[in-house]
Amino acid sequence: VQILLKLWRNGFSLDDGELRSYSDPTNAQFLESVKRGEIPVELQRLVHGGQVNLDMEDHQEQEYVKPRLRFKAFSGEGQKLGSLTPEIVSTPSSPEEEEKSILNAPVLIDDSMPATKIQIRLADGSRLIQRFNQTHRIKDIRDFIIQSRPEFATTDFVLVTTFPNKELTDENLTLQEADILNTVILQQLK
- Tens of pLDDT, residue by residue, the chain (190 residues): 888 989 999 999 988 889 999 999 989 999 998 888 888 888 888 777 778 888 889 998 999 888 776 666 666 676 666 555 555 554 445 555 545 444 455 788 888 999 999 999 998 888 899 999 999 999 999 999 888 888 888 888 999 988 778 888 888 999 899 888 888 999 988 8
Q: Provide the phi-psi class of 27: left if phi over 0, else alpha when psi is between -120 and 50, else beta.
A: alpha
Out of 3.40.50.300, 3.30.420.210, 1.10.600.10, 3.40.50.720, the CATH code matching 2-58 is 3.30.420.210
All structural domains of the chain with their residue ranges: 2-58, 115-189
**Residues 6 or more apart in contact with residue 128 via CB below 8 angstroms:** 101, 119, 120, 122, 144, 145, 148, 149
CATH numeric code, 115-189:
3.10.20.90
d(CA 141, CA 158): 11
